[in-house]
A = this chain, B = another copy of it.
């Protein structure tokens, strides 16, 4: 089994934190996305979307999409962590909050960054105006996230779940790539973020 990754990217960090929480280790292969190594013919025969991370199972079967990779390890690894929720209701609440944080948060932040910066303009059409609109939507979402974290220690349930990992990655993207100072403005996000940052698995 091999995990193809470009370690600094948000999606790869998401998988790494998840694996750290499960205490699972796996062989890594670095793929330099900035230099387009993920667009080679060999890579594209294995990957359905040409992105990192990609997990290659020993059977020659591959899995793309970071959350699918997390779900595979969650299902296949005996563990006492319920990072996708435990009860029926929690499983649904994790799905709900994950979609909120991904669609209103992380995905909007990616669209903002990619369309404003043009970082991948060699391979996609960028629309700067949409980048700025997406950034404005991220700014509207932050107080909602802060309000949620005023009521709850973690985003989705009473315990750490994959939604917190995604949320942590999201705040990092917003601070670094979109240059929005999140922690000084949002005390509940700051309390939650700093608590996560202190966990060894998030280092």
**A residues bordering B, Cβ < 8 Å?**
48-49, 57, 61, 63-65, 67-69, 71-72, 75-76, 88-89, 91-93, 95-96, 99-100, 103-104, 107, 115, 125, 127, 129-130, 133, 136, 144, 148
How many angstroms between the C-alpha atoms of A102 and B91 in the bound complex?
20
B130 close to A99 (CB less than 8 A)? no
Task: Pull 6 A–B residue pairs with CB atoms less than 8 Å apart, ordered by A.
Answer: A48-B96, A63-B92, A67-B95, A68-B95, A76-B88, A115-B130
Q: Which of A103, A104, A115, A130 has the largest count of B CB atoms less than 10 A from its CB?
A: A130
B48 close to A93 (CB less than 8 A)? no
In whole Å, how far is A32's beta carbon from the nearest beta carbon of chain B?
Answer: 23
Task: Say how many copies of this protein the assembly contains.
Answer: 2
How many angstroms between the C-alpha atoms of A26 and B71 in the bound complex?
29
Given contacts A49-B100, A129-B129, contact A91 B75 (CB under 8 A): yes
A127 close to B125 (CB less than 8 A)? no
A65 close to B99 (CB less than 8 A)? yes
B95 close to A65 (CB less than 8 A)? yes
Residues on B with beta carbons closer than 8 Å to the beta carbon of A67: 95, 99
Q: Add 6 more A-B contacts to A64-B96, A71-B91 (CB < 8 A).
A: A49-B100, A72-B92, A75-B92, A76-B88, A103-B107, A125-B136
